[in-house]
Amino acid sequence: MGGAVLDEGPTGVKAPDGAWGWAVLFGCFVITGFSYAFPKAISVFFKELIREFGIGYSDTAWISSILLAMLYGTGPLCSVCVNRFGCRPVMLVGGLFASLGMVAASFCTSIIQLYLTAGVVTGLGLALNFQPSLIMLNRYFSKRRPIANGLAAAGSPVFLCALSPMGQVLQDHYGWRGGFLILGGLLLNCCVCAALMRPLVAPESAGGPRPQQSPRRLLDLSVFRDRGFVIYAVAASIMVLGLFVPPVFVVSYAKDLGVPDTKAAFLLTILGFIDIFARPTAGFITGLKKVRPYSVYLFSFAMFFNGFTDLTGSTASNYGGLVVFCIFFGISYGMVGALQFEVLMAIVGTHKFSSAIGLVLLMEAVAVLIGPPSGGKLLDATKVYKYVFILAGAEVLTSSLVLLLGNFCIRSRSKALKPEAAASEEEKPPVDVRVDSREVEHFLKAEPEKNGEVVHTPETSV
């Protein structure tokens, strides 16, 4: 597949690292907040939907699952659209899709219709906003990119803390249909954020027109030739298997220990509050000159920290222990959220990032659909929450080791190849350049004017 890029970062344009980039960062903050928080915040309407349609909780939970599946699984489609039409047009269409899906959902009369509208259409709209916003952020920031990624990632916990209470208020005053209608209008703000994504334009050179962009594939599969990308994709897929499991089960874990419902629900508030500050802080630390070259190892440490927190959290026997677990989980979860796309950008570069993130999200989509259900199956079989947290911790720890060892092997191999390449250059015999006398004679006869002789032609003879 091939085609020209209409909204690609132009060749030779330096990232502004500020200026209009701060507006792009604000738009990315809002888009990230909607994309990650909306599937969780919509769960406040589930009880009303159960009463309305006479269905079970598992049936309504599929709405959030479909939203997440669309957000992750349509990654390659988003890459193709961005590489063909550009970031801003794709985001404008995505904002309309996200809004229309929720507006249409307010008129639904069956749960299947909700799956198609609130799940598929809105999920596709959010996906068409999320991925292009990260691509634009990567184009506008270079030196300050780690802190920019951390600030943008903070949109997820901020919006989760805001959308969940707001959804409850909307349901109490207007019912689930009115709430869906208002949320649909709220999602039109994605179009406003899309308008902020102004493409970078190469300045006109003094001697001629702007440099031409080279044609680019709509989905660049050559990223799989990069061993660093392959290791990252495998590690990220393993990590997602267990990363989202503890937030899903921690409230039920607390209730199983006899904690009241209100105190149990407060655990997620603690986790989200810590997460808000952990993401920008992790981005700031990663942006330091002495730390940034080792961002891959810092990401590996963040995953190890998260997995170790899951394992220690499995030993909690009271509410205080779960509070401590949520504090440390919020720190490690924020570090992972701030670093995951920053590390991917560092591995593949700006030119291939649009294709790389789509392929990584597709691989993670499978893990997202397997992770929490597998934890639920284990809980049904054992009736012990401890084993669920141990399984999640083991999966995240495995991913950290895959990334760490894989990156270490690549660096060791590259260092070993440098002396060999230098030695091969030294061993090459000198090139023997000989001049044939016949060539010299032919040259003198063919171009005598260059040797001081006058050549008589019809023009010079007149």
From the number of C-beta atoms within 10 Å of its C-beta (0-12, 13-18, 19+), residue 440 rates as exposed
Superfamily classification of domain 15-199? MFS general substrate transporter like domains (1.20.1250.20)
Residue type present at position 390: I
Architecture of the domain whose range is 220-421: Up-down Bundle (1.20)
HSE-up of residue 53 (Cα within 13 Å, Cβ side): 20
Question: What is this structure's pTM?
Answer: 0.74
Q: What is the DSSP letter of 288?
A: S
Say if CB 74 and CB 124 are below 8 A apart: yes
Domain with CATH 1.20.1250.20 in the chain: 15-199, 220-421
Token reading at 213: 């962009």
| C-alpha–C-alpha distance, residues 163 and 174, integer Å | 16
> pLDDT 10s digit of each residue in the chain, 462 long?
333 233 345 545 777 887 888 999 999 999 999 998 888 778 778 888 888 888 876 678 788 878 888 888 888 888 888 888 888 999 999 999 999 999 999 999 898 999 999 999 999 999 999 989 988 988 888 888 888 988 998 888 888 888 878 888 888 889 899 999 999 999 999 999 999 998 887 666 555 555 555 556 677 788 888 888 899 999 999 998 888 888 878 888 888 888 887 788 788 888 888 988 999 999 899 888 888 888 899 999 999 999 999 999 888 888 899 999 999 999 999 999 889 888 888 888 877 887 888 888 888 888 877 877 777 788 778 888 889 899 999 999 999 999 988 887 777 666 665 555 555 555 555 545 454 555 445 544 554 444 444 444 333 333
Residues 6+ apart with CB under 8 A from 409: none
- Where does residue 331 rank: exposed (0-12), middle (13-18), buried (19+ CB within 10 A)? buried
Sign of CA dihedral 182, 187, 191, 192: positive
